[in-house]
Amino acid sequence: KAGVTQTPRYLIKTRGQQVTLSCSPISGHRSVSWYQQTPGQGLQFLFEYFSETQRNKGNFPGRFSGRQFSNSRSEMNVSTLELGDSALYLCASSGGQGNTEAFFGQGTRLTVV
């Protein structure tokens, strides 16, 4: 069974640009969550999608958005990039109902210069 796949693995963007990250969950999983990991703030929850609907949202500005497609694949978008958005972005998938663990992808390392 394939794991959670995140693309790309590495990205370098310039301040002010926008970026889109992709996450393909484990087959059959309907919940996809996104996390930001930085040395200063640690691991922080961005949002969760379940069956194409945003189910939970963390405390991030509106520049951070996401969506989920009918095949459960998810994208997150960050607009007007700031230097502080440099981070490892992790995606996790879970069954969403009764399944009690989240499986993580290897992450996308975003560097904003």
The residue ranges that bind another protein (CB under 8 A) are: 4, 6, 31, 33, 35, 42-45, 48, 50, 55-56, 90, 92, 94-107, 109
Contact indicator for 88, 107 with CB cutoff of 8 Å: yes
**In the complex with another protein, which residue's Cβ is closer, 17 or 43?**
43
**In the complex with another protein, which residue's Cβ is closer, 62 or 98?**
98
**In the complex with another protein, which residue's Cβ is closer, 62 or 101?**
101
CB of 76 to another protein, least distance (A): 15
- The residue ranges of DSSP E strands in the chain, in sequence order, are 5-7, 10-13, 19-24, 31-38, 42-50, 53-57, 64-68, 74-78, 87-94, 103-104, 108-112
